Amino acid sequence: MPRHHRLDLQQAERLGARLRAAREARELTQEQVANAAGLNRNHYQLLEKGRAATPAVQRRDGELRPSNPTLATLLELSRVLDVPVSYMVIDVFGPPADVVVEYLEGR
> Which segment, 10-19, 61-70, 84-93, is predicted with the most confidence on average?
10-19
- pLDDT for 31 equals 97
41: pLDDT confidence band, cut at 50, 70 and 90? very high
pLDDT recorded at residue 66:
86
CB-based contacts of 9, cutoff 8 Å, min separation 6: 50, 63, 64, 66
CA 100 from centroid of its chain's CA atoms: 22
- Of 71-75, 81-85, 92-96, 102-106, the least confident: 102-106
In angstroms, the CA 75 to CA 79 distance is 6
Domains and CATH numbers, the chain: 9-93 (1.10.260.40)
CA nearest to 89, candidates 105, 69, 64: 69
Distance CA 77, CA 36 (A): 8
- Report d(CA 77, CA 19) in Å as an integer: 8
Q: Residue 103: pLDDT above 90?
A: no
| Model-wide pTM > 0.85 | no
Q: What is the DSSP letter of 54?
A: S
What's the mean pLDDT when you consider all of the chain? 81
